[in-house]
Each structure stands twice: as structure tokens, then as C-alpha cells.
Amino acid sequence: MTTSTARFRSWYRPMRGRRPDEPHRTATPLELFFDLCFVVAVAQASNSLHHDLAENHLGHALVSYLTVFFAIWWAWMNFTWFASAYDTDDDVYRVTTLVQIAGALILAAGVPRAFTDADFTTITYGYVVMRLGTIVNWLRAAAANPDRRDTAIAYAVGVGVVQLGWLLRLALPDGWGMPAFLVLALADVLVPVVAEQRGKTGWHPHHIAERYQLFTLIVLGEAILSISVAIQGGVDAGNPELWGLAAAGMVIVFALWWLYFDRPGQLPPSRLRGSLFWGYGHYLIFAAIAAVGAGLAVAVDHDLHAAHVSGRTAGYTVAVPVAVFLVALWALHLRWKRGLGLVLFPIASVLALVTPWLPAPVPALAALLFILVAVTLVLRHRQATDVPG
């Protein structure tokens, strides 16, 4: 091999599919850097949700948060699954990934205006920049993989058409914005469904599971930040009640971490329908965890008399996302359990929605999650020590 050939191969390699059974496949430094930049977008969404909820703009908060978080989650998810199948780590791939990171930062910068003014212009531009990088990568994959060329071209064409739709949406009258968003979001999530019918992409199950675990840690970090704010508020205001709230919030976040990572070996199903359900269903888990952080911040504002909501409403800002998390986690990871394990999480989600009616909603929710973790530990221990007779 000549020196010029070696240099060319380090700059550009054919984007051939990686083996789905490749040993020791872990997240790369580039993927971790990509995730780090998404911290900004998640923080912007959580912070904007917190302020909307504290001002009692509940309907606006819910719609704005779910739409903004969709853009964040969908952009992250598409990069993650593509990288699992085709990451070549050559210079061209690194450049296209950095372009996508730039799009993520543009998207994050547009989050506040999307909440306050329903202006999705900046978010749309950032989202389209990210997806242009995705189109380039799919075209590279089509050129280097004849056996999966139809799949890659379907992705490239589908993504490109939908991005044109997002840009045209900006020219629509204000009243058409939300219906157009729903249509385009549905079109976006259908692109993988249609493309994968032409041939399954060879993603790595252990790598995907690790990437989802890492993003779970990112959104948990937003909740940890809210606890830190609660402690700071207790120190600054001399309010001892905030110390108890901070302790309860810490138990809630620790419990969410424990419940999600109780079975770290959970892998996405290999069949298309199961993998899509698993991958798409995590939208609820990610959005719910980040919303828990916003809810804890609202609870702090309420105790400081800085929020325009009742104590019960403040309790629901934490209880509702916790209930969504429990149901989503059960649907994705725990439906196969039998006996008490089958109904434990749905029952806990219902009880979580009752806690705002109690005198101390957040501590009551923390106690409920503590009990849930304890019961799951007992059940797991019994399952491990149960020897068939």
C-alpha cells in the first residue's frame, strides 16, 4: 500500500455496514461529544417547560415541550441508529457529524423562542442542518453497500422530502402550524418504517442499548440540576422546607435511575416491529425524565412563593412525568414479567397520580418510588434464588 493510498483511506473509507455481532462495540468519543452537545438542547427544553408550568400556562407548556422534545429526540435517535450500522470514523464522517452537532446547537438556540412565541424558525433550520448531514451519510452508505442500496436510498429520499416539508411549513399561516407539524412528524417517523421494509439495517444491539443508556443519563442530569437549585434555594432563602424537598427530589431521581438500570442488559428486539416500538417508545422515557426535573423546579418555586400555581398543580408537574416514565418503562422492558411484577409498575403509576392530593406531594412520591425499588429488589432476589423443584 502506498503512502498516498493510506492517507486517502484515513480521509475517506467506503461506508460499508459494520457487523451487528462485532465484539466489544462501545460508544466512540465522537458519539459522546455528540451527546454532550445535546445536553444544551435538553437543558433549554427543560428550563422552558419549568417557566411555562410555573406561570400556570399548562396547555401551552405541554404542547410546546412535546413538539420541541420531538425534534431533539428524533435528531439524536437517527444519528445514533445510523452510527451503529455505518460509523466509519473517517475524516468525511467526522466532518458530517460536526455539521450535525452544529445543527443541534442551532436547534437548542431556538428552543426559548419556540416556547415563548411559538416561533419554530430557528429550531427548523437547526433540524434541517442536522438532517442534511444524515442525507449525505445515507448516500455514502448506498454507494458502498449494493445489498442494502435500496434501503439507504429510501432513507436519503425520505429524509430529504420531509426536510423540504419542514422548510415549507415556515411559510404557512399561523393557524396551520400545528396540523402541519403533526403531518410532518408522522412522515418523519414513517421513513424508517418504509425504508427498513427494503432491507434491515445492520445496527448493533449492544451498542444501541448503551447509547440509549447514555442519553438516559443526560436527561437524568437535568433532574439533578433541579435538585441542586433546590438546595441553593434553601441556603439563600433560609427556608428549611426546601431541604426536605431537595432530599425527596434526590430520592425520586435515584429511583428513576435504579428502575431504568435495574436490568442493564435489556437489548432492543431484533425484529423490525419490536425494535421500532423499543426505539420510538423511549421518547416517552426521555421526555418524562427531563420533565421531572422541570417539575421539581416548579415545586421549588411554589415553596418560595415564586410560582403562580397551587400546591396540587405543582405536585402534578412531578407526578405526571413520573407516571409516564413508569408506564413507558413497563411497556418497553417489563411486560414479560409474571405475577406481581406484571402489574407492579402500572399500579405504581396510578398511585403516583394520587400523591398530589396528599399534604406533601413530592415527599409522598419519593416514598412511593422508594417502596417500588424495594419491591423490585425483593422480586428479583426471589427470582434469582428460586430453584425449580
Residue that is last in its domain, among 151, 166, 198? 198
Q: Are residues 236 and 374 both part of a single domain?
A: yes
17, part of any domain: no
Cut 0.85: pTM above it: yes
Q: Which pLDDT does position 340 carry in this prediction?
A: 64
19, part of any domain: no
CA 21 to mean position of chain CA atoms: 25
Q: Which CATH number do you get for residue 340? A: 1.20.1410
233, part of any domain: yes
Q: Are residues 288 and 311 both part of a single domain?
A: yes
389 residues of the chain, pLDDT tens digit each: 455 444 545 566 777 877 888 888 888 898 999 888 888 888 888 888 988 898 888 888 898 899 889 988 998 999 999 999 888 888 888 999 999 989 888 988 888 888 877 788 898 999 889 888 899 999 999 988 888 899 999 999 999 999 999 999 988 887 888 899 999 999 999 999 999 988 888 888 889 989 999 999 989 988 888 778 767 766 676 777 778 888 899 999 999 999 999 865 577 877 888 888 999 999 999 999 999 999 998 988 888 887 788 889 999 999 999 999 999 999 887 765 666 667 889 999 999 999 999 999 999 999 999 999 999 888 877 766 764 44
22, part of any domain: no
Q: Are residues 130 and 257 both part of a single domain?
A: no
378, part of any domain: yes
Q: Are residues 155 and 244 both part of a single domain?
A: no
3, part of any domain: no
- Total domains in the chain come to 2
Q: Are residues 162 and 211 both part of a single domain?
A: no
Q: Are residues 161 and 228 both part of a single domain?
A: no
Q: Are residues 191 and 261 both part of a single domain?
A: no
**CA 345, 315, 360: angle at the middle one, nearest 5?**
95
Residue that is last in its domain, among 198, 219, 242? 198
Residue that is last in its domain, among 198, 222, 252? 198
Domain residues for 154?
Answer: 27-198
Q: Which pLDDT does position 369 carry in this prediction?
A: 96
Q: Are residues 286 and 315 both part of a single domain?
A: yes
Q: Are residues 217 and 334 both part of a single domain?
A: yes
71, part of any domain: yes
21, part of any domain: no
Q: Are residues 282 and 233 both part of a single domain?
A: yes
Q: Are residues 186 and 165 both part of a single domain?
A: yes
Q: Are residues 150 and 220 both part of a single domain?
A: no
